[in-house]
A and B are shown apart, each in its own frame.
Chain A
Amino acid sequence: MKTHGGSSDGAARDFVDRVAAKLGDVPRPQRDELTAELQRHLHDVRQRSGSISELGSAEDYARDLREAMGLAAQSKRRPAAAVLTVAAILIAATVTTVALSHQPRSTPTTTSAGTVAQSDTTPAPSFVAFSFGRLCGQQASAAEEPTVSFGGAVIEHAVHSTAPKGTIVSTDPACGTAIPLNGTLTINVSR
């Protein structure tokens, strides 16, 4: 087998993409590191044996990687109570919340967090854009009683940081970025 050429590069790229697809809940900076590290690894494997077939399937590789990282099986969501607790942090820090309902409206409705809580009794919004700029740097323990449920999955990830323990170091999507109501929000908390 040739050790270079387009098809081998393609196989390596495909392998990396398929592993990355199984790491959707890993914060982007870490996911990027993992895929870069995997690219280097595939380079070494090919240098030695000319093919990456000895690694098995990308899906099995991703499963072993997740297991060793201590991550739950993919798509496992946190219990509802935990989701609500983190939602409370979100809401406490929300400066502006824009909710777009399923029903087409002439203009997006801008409301306060309190109004969104009331909207639980109306058809659930399909998309919520949080402006959670103040969330970063907050203590995760600053959570208050939830006033609104966040429909998506919240994944809390303990990271090493010089910030005091419990501080929200970063979020994925990044602070100030819109997230789908049923999407996944990862908060990185200083351990």
Chain B
Amino acid sequence: MLKGVLPLMVLAVVGSADAYGWDVLRELRERADVNVGDASVYGTLQRLRDRGLLSSYLDESGPGPNRRYYSITAAGTAALAEDRRTWRGIERAVNLVLNEKVEMSA
């Protein structure tokens, strides 16, 4: 079920601040407590960029291999707003159904 909402979560993380893969992973795992695989996050970042929702650039400063940072694009911002609305609708619908079941079984 997580796979379906991963693009939305990654888009939201990058939308709040430019980030590279490691930042996104840490944000999802440590702050949102989401159990997500490393490769899934990197693959999702690529896919979002392919769709024009993110852009990327290299940070060549600092030690180690270069970091590839991602930024949200105007199209990404619009998609995020739309997906946020859709998600709120789903959340409400699922909660309604789940609560109903709980009451029925009670």
Residues of A within 8 A of B (CB): 30, 33-34, 36-41, 43-45, 47, 55, 60-70, 157-160, 191
Bound state CA distance, A160 and B49, in angstroms? 8
Please, what's the 1-or-0 string for B1-45, where 1 marks a CB less than 8 Å from any CB in chain A? Answer: 001001000000000000011100000000000000111111110
Q: Which has the most chain B C-beta neighbours within 10 Å: A36, A44, A61?
A: A44
Bound state CA distance, A113 and B100, in angstroms? 67
A64 lies within 8 A of B67 (CB) = no
A68 lies within 8 A of B47 (CB) = yes
A68 lies within 8 A of B38 (CB) = no
Q: Is B46 an interface position by the 8 A CB rule? A: yes
- Report chain A residues within 8 Å CB of B38: 41, 45, 55, 61
* Chain B residues with a Cβ closer than 8 Å to the other chain, count: 24
- Knowing A38-B42, A68-B44, the reply to whether A43 touches B65 (Cβ < 8 A) is yes
B23 to chain A, nearest CB (A): 10
Bound state CA distance, A159 and B47, in angstroms? 10
A164 to chain B, nearest CB (A): 14
Bound state CA distance, A163 and B20, in angstroms? 27
- Knowing A65-B42, A68-B6, the reply to whether A40 touches B64 (Cβ < 8 A) is yes
- Report chain A residues within 8 Å CB of B85: none
B39 lies within 8 A of A64 (CB) = yes
Cross-interface CB contact of A61 among B22, B39, B49, cutoff 8 Å = B39
Q: Which has the most chain A C-beta neighbours within 10 Å: B22, B51, B66?
A: B22
- Ranked 5 nearest A-B pairs via Cβ: A68-B43, A64-B39, A160-B52, A65-B39, A40-B65
B21 lies within 8 A of A37 (CB) = yes
Cross-interface CB contact of B22 among A44, A160, A191, cutoff 8 Å = A44
B68 lies within 8 A of A40 (CB) = yes
A41 lies within 8 A of B52 (CB) = no
Q: List 9 A-B contacts (CB under 8 A).
A: A33-B46, A36-B66, A40-B22, A61-B39, A64-B37, A64-B43, A65-B43, A69-B46, A70-B47
Q: Is B50 an interface position by the 8 A CB rule? A: yes
B46 lies within 8 A of A34 (CB) = yes
Cross-interface CB contact of B43 among A39, A41, A66, cutoff 8 Å = A66
Bound state CA distance, A24 and B2, in angstroms? 28
Bound state CA distance, A44 and B26, in angstroms? 11
B51 lies within 8 A of A191 (CB) = yes
Bound state CA distance, A117 and B84, in angstroms? 53
- Report chain A residues within 8 Å CB of B22: 40-41, 44
- Report chain B residues within 8 Å CB of A157: 50
